[in-house]
Amino acid sequence: MDVKAIREQFPILDQEVNGHPLVYLDSSATSQKPLPVIEAIDDYYRKYNSNVHRGVHTLGTRATDLYEGAREKVRQFINADSTMEIIFNRGTTIGLNLVAQSYARANLTAGDEIVITPMEHHSNIIPWQQAAKATGATLKYIPLEVDGSISLERVRETVTNNTKIVAVGHVSNVLGTINPIKEMAKIAHDHGAIIVVDGAQSVPHLQVDVKALDCDFYAFSGHKMCAPTGIGVLYGKKDLLNKMEPVEFGGEMIDFVDLHDSTWKELPSKFEGGTPIIAGAIGLGAAIDFLSDIGMNSITKHEEQLVTYAMAKLSSIKDLTIYGPEKRAALVTFNLKDVHSHDVATVLDAEGIAVRAGHHCAQPLMKWLNVSATARASFYLYNTEADVDRLVEGLLKTKEYFGDVF
């Protein structure tokens, strides 16, 4: 993989921050955008901005073709059976909320169980808390292993015949744990439950095949995979989506409207009320082309090499605690002794290095780790070993700066 050529496609990377060349290590929060994506959005607004699925004029037809073309690109990218199974929305959070509000409320009653893990992002916890409260179902957690991984034995102990939903992140945004989704799906299905996967941190980095994983729902966000903010995808098996009620009502999603009742369009329109995120979807289509041209397997391999290098380098820094399992996705979460992660991130920023600090929208996991916050460096296809070296230098400077703590 020619990282130098790839970096040239990301104009934002070529700048100084606080007098230093920028090192962007916050792609788990949001990725940067390559020129083909920026140009696809620019093209839409300059040349054929129109609403979709309405009328017959030329610009509208072009916009509709590209919007629906993006849906087909997503279908191929995750290997879904049909574009009817690809719901465009605003992101992972919205997709998970749709399943919790529509599927869970219609199918769960008191005595049923929803099973999740303590490593989930808030958007894969709170919708289930709310669904449990609304239906009387119980929210149960699969205990984590000491290194922050999931053992299938614990999954088998937690999932019962009362379990109706297992909801789990494919990749943890804090620990980098890559969870055994295929095996967890099998356990869920053996008990008559469905599995809902939070794919926010996996689809940008791994080749995801929803059919091979046999997941029932799979939610992800465009902005973490080179596409703009404001566009996301919920994949769902057609049979399940067909039986679900929409939670947003209005234009675009109806078939017939009468004074006192209405009927819904077929999938996927039923779940896409209102004018959709047209430029966002077209940008996502361009992002998928961009990633596919490079090859997801090459991206994964590059990230594996980078995170192995980072783990080796960072492990050699005295007083640095790294959280999460050895085998991990391309991110490293850590604390420098008693220095607050916000202070670490502030000193790194002064060196031109962008990392995230805080609870990473995973407060239950912070509690499990027994910390209030951590710093996190996350990598993507445009990062290099030189970026890791700069991070290490920055952390050594941070140690010098807060010398009295050490």
Q: Which residues bind ligand 7TS (CB under 6 A)?
A: 28-29, 91-93, 121, 123-124, 169, 173, 198, 200-201, 221, 356, 360-361
Q: How far is CA 155 from CA 116, 204, 219, 247, in A?
A: 10, 26, 21, 31
Per DSSP bridges, beta strands 16-17 and 20-21 are antiparallel
Q: List beta partners, residue 356.
A: 376
Separation of CA 291 from chain center: 16
Q: Phi first, then psi: what are they for 308, rounded to 5°?
A: -65, -45
CA pair distance 208, 229, nearest whole angstrom: 21
**Closest to ligand 7TS by CB, 61 or 363:** 363
Catalytic residue among 13, 139, 361, 371: 361
Cβ proximity to ligand 7TS: between 50 and 129 the closer is: 129
| Encoded amino acid at 127, one letter | P
- If the CB atoms of residues 1 and 361 are measured against ligand 7TS, the closer one turns out to be 361
Cα–Cα dist 59/345, whole Å: 46
Least Å distance, CB 198 to ligand 7TS, is 5
Instruction: Please state the closest distance from residue 29 (CB atom) to ligand 7TS, in A.
Output: 3
- Quote the least distance from Cβ 199 to ligand 7TS, whole Å: 8
Q: Report in angstroms how near the CB of residue 173 gets to ligand 7TS at its nearest.
A: 3
Query: DSSP readout, 136-193?
Result: TPEEEEPPPPTTS---HHHHHHH--TTEEEEEEESB-TTT--B--HHHHHHHHHHTT-
State the Cα–Cα distance between residues 83 and 268, nearest whole angstrom.
8
Bond before 325 cis per omega within 30 degrees? no
Quote the least distance from Cβ 28 to ligand 7TS, whole Å.
Answer: 4
Helix or strand run (H / E) with residue 24: strand 23-24
Tokens describing residue 292: 């596919």
Instruction: Tell which residue, 155, 157, 127, has the closest CA to residue 139.
Output: 127
Integer angstrom CA distances of residue 203 from 91, 108, 142, 377: 12, 29, 23, 18
Around Cβ 151, how many Cβ atoms within 10 Å? 13
Instruction: Return all residues near 365 (Cβ < 8 A) that are at least 6 apart.
Output: 118, 119, 120, 172, 174, 175
Nearer CB in complex with ligand 7TS: 232/246: 232
Q: Give me the least distance between CB of 45 and ligand 7TS, in Å please.
A: 23
**Smaller CB separation from ligand 7TS, 221 or 269:** 221
361 catalytic residue (yes or no) = yes
Give the shortest CB-162-to-ligand 7TS separation in angstroms: 26
Q: State the nearest-atom distance from the C-beta of 308 to ligand 7TS, in Å.
A: 21
Q: In what order do the strands lie in the sheet with 232-236?
A: 86-89, 232-236, 217-221, 194-198, 163-169, 113-116, 138-141
Active site residues: 361
